[in-house]
């Protein structure tokens, strides 16, 4: 297959592109800078210059491909607090990619997040792939849009991501937690720290994107979850021992001051199942879990 990948040079893309190529697919990666273009070429992909706002480019590449994997997102806008702008750009890009694939029966793999489950009211049990919501914010609307493309002749699927970790992660949530710990001189958790974060190794997530591209049924919602739920206190303790700093409980009122933009996310209790995904696609994550990956040390090297 000739596969068009947005975000091909990013954290996930740098794992997804080699997985696709090793499986015999040809990859065209969207690059908005010389640095991104060089990274895609080094991975073995072909480069198409442009960004998420270049809608003509997105439509043309989608129409000329055998499938699309959409990984790109304006994380710079998200971190600055302008989620609305990031969501607007992303939804316009998704709509354009869908227009290029409509009626073709070709796959489009989109990206969502497991946090939408708890933010939409799933409490007291793990979230599952069957959990859907009519509306409730950008992530849910995008999730519904991609899954709904099945009715337009697109073999669409959504990969819902938890915390994604590995040595390829340089700007994700884990790196932000470590930066906060360095800044404050201690690693923190909120309250008892029993709230759970689901997680997956980057390479295991990349395997799932490949499987989704190749054989996910139209409208599928998939969970890239290896660790169903890691207690946040254990994450803080791993950061503390690797930085050789104290570990402390803080109150909810202190969370925003300590964690910054992760203040509310650090308190989420988001246990999530991937049983349906594993059975449906035969996905078997086998890379190190989150705590083992933290204890491997790569996150803490200068």
pLDDT of 4-44, one tens digit each? 999 999 999 999 999 999 999 999 999 999 999 999 999 99
CA distances 1 to 8, 25, 64, 169, Å, are 16, 5, 11, 27
pLDDT digits (tens, 9 = 90+) for 217-248: 999 999 999 999 999 999 999 999 999 999 99
Q: Which of 125, 123, 116, 137 lies closest to 221 in space, CA to CA?
A: 116
Per-residue confidence (pLDDT) for residue 139, from 0 to 100: 82
pLDDT digits (tens, 9 = 90+) for 101-154: 999 999 999 999 999 999 888 989 999 999 999 887 778 899 999 999 999 999
Enumerate the β-bridge partners of residue 187. 247
CA distances 75 to 11, 53, 70, 172, 283, Å, are 12, 14, 14, 10, 28
- Indicate the burial class of 270 (C-beta count within 10 angstroms; 0-12, 13-18, 19 or more): buried
pLDDT greater than 70 at residue 74: no
Residues counted in the chain: 302
Enumerate the β-bridge partners of residue 223. 160
Specify the pTM: 0.95
Per-residue confidence (pLDDT) for residue 119, from 0 to 100: 84
How does strand 196-201 pair with strand 227-231? antiparallel
């Amino acid at each position: 297959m000739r596969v068009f990948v947005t975000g091909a040079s990013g954290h996930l893309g740098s794992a997804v592109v080699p997985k696709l190529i090793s499986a015999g697919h040809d990859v065209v990666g969207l690059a908005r800078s010389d640095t991104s273009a060089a990274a895609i070429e080094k991975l073995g992909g072909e480069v198409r210059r442009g960004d998420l706002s270049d809608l003509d480019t997105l439509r043309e590449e989608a129409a000329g491909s055998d499938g699309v994997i959409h990984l790109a997102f304006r994380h710079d806008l998200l971190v600055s607090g302008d989620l609305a702008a990031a969501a607007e750009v992303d939804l316009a890009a998704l709509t354009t990619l869908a227009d290029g694939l409509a009626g073709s029966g070709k796959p489009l793999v989109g990206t969502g997040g497991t946090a939408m489950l708890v933010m939409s009211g799933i409490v007291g049990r793990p979230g599952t792939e069957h959990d859907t919501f009519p509306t409730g914010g950008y992530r849910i609307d995008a999730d519904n849009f991609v899954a709904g493309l099945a009715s337009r002749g697109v073999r669409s699927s959504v990969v819902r991501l938890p915390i994604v970790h590995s040595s390829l992660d340089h700007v994700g949530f884990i790196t932000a937690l470590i930066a906060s710990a360095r800044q404050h001189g201690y690693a923190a958790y909120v309250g008892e720290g029993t709230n759970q974060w689901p997680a997956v190794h980057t390479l295991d997530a990349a395997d799932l994107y490949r499987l989704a591209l190749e054989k996910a049924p139209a409208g599928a919602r998939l969970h890239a979850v290896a660790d169903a739920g890691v207690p946040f206190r254990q994450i803080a303790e791993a950061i503390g021992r690797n930085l050789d700093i104290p570990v402390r409980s803080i109150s909810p009122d202190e969370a925003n001051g300590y964690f910054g933009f992760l203040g509310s996310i650090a308190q989420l209790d988001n246990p999530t199942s991937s049983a349906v995904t594993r059975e449906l696609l035969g996905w078997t994550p086998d890379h190190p879990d989150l705590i083992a990956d933290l204890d491997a040390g790569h996150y803490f090297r200068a």
